Amino acid sequence: MSDLIRKSASEQAELLRTGQVSSVELTQAHLDRTAAVDGDVHSYLHVGPEAALAAAADIDRRRAAGEQLHQLAGLPIAVKDNLTTTDAPTTSGSKILEGWVPPYDATVVAKLRAAGMPILGKTNLDEFAMGSSTEFSAYGPSKNPWDLGRIPGGSGGGSSSVVASFQAPLAIGSDTGGSIRYPAFVTGTVGAKPTYGAVSRYGLIALASSLDQVGPVSRNVLDSALLQDVIAGHDPHDSTSLPESLGSMAEAAKKLDVKGMRIGVIKQLNGEGFAAGVSARFNESLQLLQQAGAEIVEVDCPSFEYAIAAYYLILPAEASSNLAKFDSVRFGLRVTPEGTPTIERVMAATREAGFGPEVKRRIILGTYALSSGYYDAYYGSAQKVRTLIQRDFDAAFAKADVLVSPTAPSVAFKFGEKLDDPLAMYLNDIATIPANLAGIPGIAVPNGLAEENMPSGIQFLAPAREDARLYQVGATLEKLHEDVWGKRMIDFAPELQEAR
Identify the CA nearest to 150 among candidates 454, 485, 495, 467. 454
The gap from C-alpha 111 to its chain's centroid, in whole angstroms, comes to 18
Handedness of CA 222, 228, 230, 232 (dihedral sign): negative
From 8, 10, 23, 80, active-site residue: 80
Side chain identity, residue 81: D
* CB-CB contact of 198 with 452 (8 Å): no
Is 80 a residue of the active site? yes
DSSP 444-489: EEEEEE-GGG-EEEEEEE--TT-HHHHHHHHHHHHHHHHHHHSS-G
Task: Output Rg (C-alpha) for the chain, integer angstroms.
Answer: 21
**Distance of alpha carbon 280 from alpha carbon 371, whole angstroms:** 45
Handedness of CA 486, 488, 491, 493 (dihedral sign): positive
* CB-CB contact of 141 with 417 (8 Å): no
* CB-CB contact of 92 with 129 (8 Å): yes
From 132, 179, 320, 456, active-site residue: 179
Cis link prior to 94 (omega < 30° from 0)?
Answer: no
Identify the CA nearest to 445 among candidates 286, 269, 305, 229. 286
Half-sphere exposure of 121 (CA within 13 A, CB side): 24
- The b/e string for 348-371 (b: 16+ C-beta within 10 A; e otherwise) is ebbbeebbbebbeebbebbbebbe
Angle (nearest 5°) at CA 386 between 385 and 391: 95
Report the SS3 class of residue 126.
coil
Identify the CA nearest to 293 among candidates 168, 401, 441. 401
**Distance of alpha carbon 288 from alpha carbon 303, whole angstroms:** 29
Is 155 a residue of the active site? yes
**Distance of alpha carbon 218 from alpha carbon 265, whole angstroms:** 25
* CB-CB contact of 218 with 163 (8 Å): yes
Is 179 a residue of the active site? yes
From 10, 132, 155, 285, active-site residue: 155
Report the SS3 class of residue 496.
coil
For 72, 191, 232, 254, the CA distances from 251, given in Å and listed in that order, are 15, 18, 15, 5
**Distance of alpha carbon 355 from alpha carbon 378, whole angstroms:** 24
**CB count, 10 Å around CB of 86?**
14
The residues assigned a catalytic role are 80, 155, 179
